[in-house]
Amino acid sequence: MVSLKTPICELFGIEYPIIQAGMAGGATTVELVSSVSGAGGLGTLGAAYMAPYELRTAINEINSRTSKPFGVNLFAAEAVDDFSRLEDVQEILNSFRMELGISDPSAPLSSPDWNKEQFEICLELGVPIISTAFGLLSAGQMARAKSKNIKVVAMVTTVAEAEAAESAGVDAIVAQGSEAGGHRGTFTLDKHPFGAQIGTMSLVPQVVDAVRVPVIAAGGIVDGRGLAASLVLGAQAVQIGTRFLSSKESGAHKVYKQALFDSTEESTVITKSFSGRPARGIKNRFIEEFELAKVEPLPFPSQNTLTKDIRAAAGKAANPEFMSLWAGQTTRMLTHEMPAADIVRTIKQEADRLFKGG
Amino acid sequence: MVSLKTPICELFGIEYPIIQAGMAGGATTVELVSSVSGAGGLGTLGAAYMAPYELRTAINEINSRTSKPFGVNLFAAEAVDDFSRLEDVQEILNSFRMELGISDPSAPLSSPDWNKEQFEICLELGVPIISTAFGLLSAGQMARAKSKNIKVVAMVTTVAEAEAAESAGVDAIVAQGSEAGGHRGTFTLDKHPFGAQIGTMSLVPQVVDAVRVPVIAAGGIVDGRGLAASLVLGAQAVQIGTRFLSSKESGAHKVYKQALFDSTEESTVITKSFSGRPARGIKNRFIEEFELAKVEPLPFPSQNTLTKDIRAAAGKAANPEFMSLWAGQTTRMLTHEMPAADIVRTIKQEADRLFKGG
């Protein structure tokens, strides 16, 4: 008999095996993170794009709102800029800028490299859980996190990546299926330029069979059916992004949320046009026109830095055609502006009913 | 409480909600189909490429081996040839032919159009279940199947396709997730040139929510965990292809089976290079070199007709580099040469244990 009280609940100190994904870019407000954790799930601050002082403030704020454990999600990839094909890319982006009325198209040509500093802040403030995407903590970072009793989680998209994560000493692994919204967690991009795209149904049991650490299923999971199915596949928890994007506490822009509600399972594509790394989002004019131009985006993080002013202006203008509308493939099942704590409770109750009947 | 005795078991007259996929091309031997049905699942003859007399013989043979229900899978798409870009494609294929020592490279430039005749044979011989890929039966065919009490099943890859199938009067719908091996069932190819690629975890509950007819989950399902997870997602049965390809009774070539056993979740790609329609198979030299040439394959069925001699010669030479090695994404979990009846029983028992404990 499958139970919702999996060992990972004890490991993380949470009541329910429901983890809110650490989505970078402002959606994971301190309200969202603390509400999810307060309701017995695990909230995660998507901190990858946060300046050090912002991260420090946010962690302190979450700590003041809840005594429950929460996670901080970082990118574990070096931020090495490469603007060598700048002119080709700018030619496309400048047409978007003109349309958005961006007066000064000269973005600063340097990406911040906050990874190491972000990690130090997490260590200093003793956050309960650090999770990474795009790669693994260094051996030194891993040892220091362990010495502070911080649990470390890595996202993977293949069995080989899961094995590498386990060897590096992680406490748990997020197996991210192709259904997932936002960036592919793939760190073998040389082998999979558009990210490995293994479906959740396929990836989860194969990762479970390959490693001994607990596996967290991610990708396409929105409700209690997805939680129950994931546990049946051998996962010990689920990580959910898009559903929490649609919550009341989410920091997602109003028109972004509306685009989620208007979308279907056919709406998303995987694109590198916004950030230089493959990510799943709702197809809009930015993606279509960038891809039509047949110009390879700059690598991450340079493409991301370069498109920042466009995404910001689109936000100000409430124009979803030029925003990155990250979304998974299960948007028909989203609830509209449900409080995050209710989302946690609803998913838990739905899964309970499936296992226990009634 | 989820149960293995779903309504579709009664509808189809089967004991367990386990359907062997009707894979075209010779893998679904009469031994395989009758073994699966004999064990309480639903065997399916992959008849799409079978000449009318072959189909008739096979159905009679299955009937002589088992009194249990079985299905016949057909392609519901018009076989309209288009050889207008023949020379470009032949230039690539001829280099393969030279390597394989094919002396007469002139394949007959006409694809057989057996769909209607195949349907009539199914009707005449009263096969219990007809399933289709690539589209739906015509209204006339549907009415005639119903009048003979034949159950009709359609494969879909999006919610919109599921709604179209339900409107057309099908008795059940196969929701084919992106993990699935072989041809994408997509019939809205204008919208999705490489097939809709919605993961099983995402597609199944969204289709279940959209239609009233029973939904059969397909894509990435290999064992009892996959069956149990699918039922939890709201499906009433699973359709399994790759696992049965690896069975003792499968007609798959020895080197094809070996390629399945040697593959991982990273091995497959979706390609149109063999048939002109998108299909998932293990990447080999044929796929790599055809795609490197940047020549668009001819449309289905012309590309399929054109590559037939190459696939046949590769089979004779036991050379997997030029065979279509259709496979799903869950090949790490395959069993080697297990009898099909044991596969059915094992999957059923594994799912039972997950639901009942023990």
B197 touches A at CB < 8 Å: yes
CA distance A228 to chain B (A): 7
- Across the interface, which of B159, B354, B357 has its CB nearest the CB of A265? B159
ipTM over 0.85? The verdict is yes
- The answer to whether the CB atoms of A202 and B200 lie below 8 A apart is yes
Residue A2: predicted pLDDT: 83
- The answer to whether the CB atoms of A226 and B209 lie below 8 A apart is no
Half-sphere exposure of B337 (CA within 13 A, CB side): 5
- The answer to whether the CB atoms of B205 and A223 lie below 8 A apart is yes
B132-to-A341, B24, B38, B221 alpha-carbon distances in Å? 44, 11, 22, 20
A155-to-A152, A216, A221, A353, B125 alpha-carbon distances in Å? 10, 9, 16, 29, 53
Nearest to B323 by CA among B312, B337, B334, B331: B312
- The answer to whether the CB atoms of A333 and B205 lie below 8 A apart is yes
End-to-end CA gap in chain A: 16
Q: The pTM is what?
A: 0.97
Q: Which residue of B has its CA nearest to A159?
A: B265
Residue B78: predicted pLDDT: 82
Sign of the four-CA dihedral B46, B47, B48, B54 = positive
CA distance A67 to chain B (A): 34
A161 touches B at CB < 8 Å: no
Residue type, B96: F
Q: Which residues of chain A have pLDDT under 70?
A: 1, 104-108, 357-358
B132 touches A at CB < 8 Å: no
Q: Which residue of B has its CA nearest to A270?
A: B197
End-to-end CA gap in chain B: 16
CA distance B250 to chain A (A): 22
- Across the interface, which of A177, A225, A228 has its CB nearest the CB of B199? A177
Q: Residue B91 belongs to what H/E stretch?
A: helix B86-100
- The answer to whether the CB atoms of A1 and B355 lie below 8 A apart is yes
- The answer to whether the CB atoms of A201 and B220 lie below 8 A apart is yes
Chain B interface, mutation test: which of A3, A6, A202, A206, most B Cβ atoms within 10 Å?
A202
- Across the interface, which of B198, B232, B329 has its CB nearest the CB of A265? B198
B264 touches A at CB < 8 Å: yes
Angle at A285 between CA A265 and CA A262, to 5 degrees: 35
The fraction of chain A above a pLDDT of 90, given in percent, is: 95
Task: Give CA–CA dist B284/A254, Å, rounded.
Answer: 46
- The answer to whether the CB atoms of B228 and A223 lie below 8 A apart is no
Where do the domains of chain A lie, and which CATH numbers do they carry? Answer: 7-79+114-252+334-356 (3.20.20.70)
Q: Which residue of A has its CA nearest to B354?
A: A1
- Across the interface, which of A160, A206, A265 has its CB nearest the CB of B158? A265
Residue A107: predicted pLDDT: 60
A258 touches B at CB < 8 Å: no
The model's pLDDT over A299-327, given as tens digits with 9 standing for 90+, comes to 999 999 999 999 999 999 999 999 999 99
Q: 20-79 in B: which are within 8 Å (CB) of A?
A: none
Is the distance from CB of B155 to CB of B133 less than 8 angstroms? yes
Task: List % helix, strand, coil for chain A (3-state, nearest 5).
Answer: 45, 15, 45
Q: Tens of pLDDT along chain B (358 residues)?
A: 688 999 999 999 999 999 999 999 999 999 999 999 999 999 999 999 999 999 999 999 999 999 999 999 999 988 899 999 999 999 999 999 999 999 765 666 899 999 999 999 999 999 999 999 999 999 999 999 999 999 999 999 999 999 999 999 999 999 999 999 999 999 989 999 999 999 999 999 999 999 999 999 999 999 999 999 999 999 999 999 999 999 999 999 999 999 999 999 999 999 999 999 999 999 999 999 999 999 999 999 999 999 999 999 999 999 999 999 999 999 999 999 999 999 999 999 999 999 986 4
On chain B, the residues whose CB falls within 8 A of the CB of A357 are 1
Going by C-beta distance under 8 Å and a sequence separation of 6 or more, which residues neighbour residue A124? none
